[in-house]
Amino acid sequence: MTHTNRPAGPMTTAIHAGEAPDPTTQASAPPLHMSSTFVTDQVAGFSAHDLEDGAEGYLYTRWDNPTVAMLEKKIAAMQGTEACLCTASGMAAASAIFFTFLSAGDHVVVSDVSYAGVAELARDTLPRMGIEVSVVNMSDLVAVAAAIRPNTRLIHTETPVNPIGRLTDLAAVSKLAREAGALLSCDATFASPLGIDALGLGVDLTMHSITKYIGGHGDALGGAVAGRADLIARMRAEAAIHHGGVLSPFNAWLIARGASTLPLRMRAHEAGAQAVAEWLEGDPRVTRVIYPGLASHPQAELAARQMTNSSGMISFQVGDAAAGERVAQQMIDRLGVIHYAVSLGHHRSLVFWMGTEALMDTSFRLEGAQLEDYRTYAGDGIFRLSVGLEDAEDLIADLDRALG
């Protein structure tokens, strides 16, 4: 088999992209290269800028490493892009986007509900560096258009949004970005590379916390950004070589091992989540369920049109904040299969209570129409449930016991 990023079936791509039998030993499984430095026949200074474009071989793992490169090729193939940069975490991937393509005096539009680390970075750090930030509800295209300025260089969104499951119409937002001459980046961690065709919908840079679905086993931190080769090359020089947020080869090896089964796992995540979401929606103790695979999702039409896999992320409510806190304690005391823990996208199911006020403290402090829209999804707090690969009937029995 020729090992390229050419189109192939999703399972074939996940297993073979980036990999080839080891040229020295002919080992079928990819080797782990833990070396920080490599013997070279190049005469060059101690700077990545001294390396010639297109030079073959490896010199120093912060610049490039064969195990990390293997994972980058695999993720690029699964995402359908020319190239990929892997980073030490999902936040390192987000920071790589912001700090590569934004400078003092530039403007960025960010989703008003974002992963907490991204929200804090946009709220507290970017303005301190002279970068202007506007936060908008990305499901409101009029608001997105109104937020764009002559100095807008980047629009950054998520879909589905963490943690409330709101969707962004990527094709529509990408059209606005192109008209403004801005890049569009999207955190697609909740969806995985198999959940949306981000490239086909016009996204320039698709990022993931590969700690989550791509790795899939909750044992290795990592991040990735996939996109055009020229954009990724700029990020590699800036974020990897200068900022140093590189992925450990060992973590890359673990994550690549998990990525090989991603298509199988995503089908199982989706099937399990659909069954659990339908059960939750029919339980009188549950007052609201948000899941893209349900007809009751506020953007069900967009979900059906844009998502090719509904993923395993469910948000649900059990009443007001006091009820949520009470049920959260019951979960801590009673759950036997589901783990009460943060994170998501692992083979085991995870659930965590998120109160609205606590979320506001770690994200954008919404008010007015933005807060009203947020409460449409989150109420006075939500449970974020990441459905794993366990039997759905066991998860349902566990939730039934915990709800009391």
Q: Supply the pLDDT for residue 375.
A: 74
Please write the tens of the pLDDT for every residue from 307-342.
Answer: 999 999 999 999 998 999 999 999 999 999 999 999
Q: Supply the pLDDT for residue 380.
A: 79
Q: Structure tokens of 379?
A: 């109420």
Q: Supply the pLDDT for residue 376.
A: 72
Burial readout 205-235 (b: 16 or more C-beta within 10 A, e: otherwise): bbbbbbbbbbbbbbebbbbbbbbeeebbeeb
Give yes or no for a contact between 76 and 84, defined as CB atoms under 8 angstroms apart. yes
Lowest mean pLDDT among 41-50, 132-141, 371-380: 41-50
Residue 48 CB-half CA count within 13 A: 18
pTM above 0.85, yes or no: yes
Question: Has residue 114 got a pLDDT over 70?
Answer: yes
- Cα 193 to Cα 67, 177, 200: the distances in Å are 20, 22, 12
Residue 92 to residue 238: CA distance in whole angstroms: 12
Averaged pLDDT for residues 271-276: 98
Q: Which amino acid is at 391?
A: D
Question: Has residue 1 got a pLDDT over 50?
Answer: no
Q: Supply the pLDDT for residue 4.
A: 43
Q: Supply the pLDDT for residue 398.
A: 98
Q: Supply the pLDDT for residue 158.
A: 96
Please write the tens of the pLDDT for every residue from 179-208.
Answer: 999 999 999 999 999 999 999 999 999 999
Question: Has residue 291 got a pLDDT over 50?
Answer: yes
Q: Supply the pLDDT for residue 50.
A: 60
Please write the tens of the pLDDT for every residue from 254-266.
Answer: 999 999 999 999 9
Q: Supply the pLDDT for residue 368.
A: 78
Q: Supply the pLDDT for residue 198.
A: 97
Question: Has residue 5 got a pLDDT over 50?
Answer: no
304 pLDDT band (50/70/90 cuts)?
A: very high
Please write the tens of the pLDDT for every residue from 22-48.
Answer: 888 888 989 889 988 888 877 666 666
Handedness of CA 390, 392, 393, 397 (dihedral sign): positive
List phi, psi (to 5°) of 110: -125, 145
Q: Supply the pLDDT for residue 281.
A: 98
Helix (H, G, I), strand (E, B) or coil at 288: strand
- Percent of the chain at pLDDT > 90 equals 78
Q: Supply the pLDDT for residue 62.
A: 86
pLDDT, the chain, mean:
92
Give yes or no for a contact between 107 and 135, defined as CB atoms under 8 angstroms apart. no
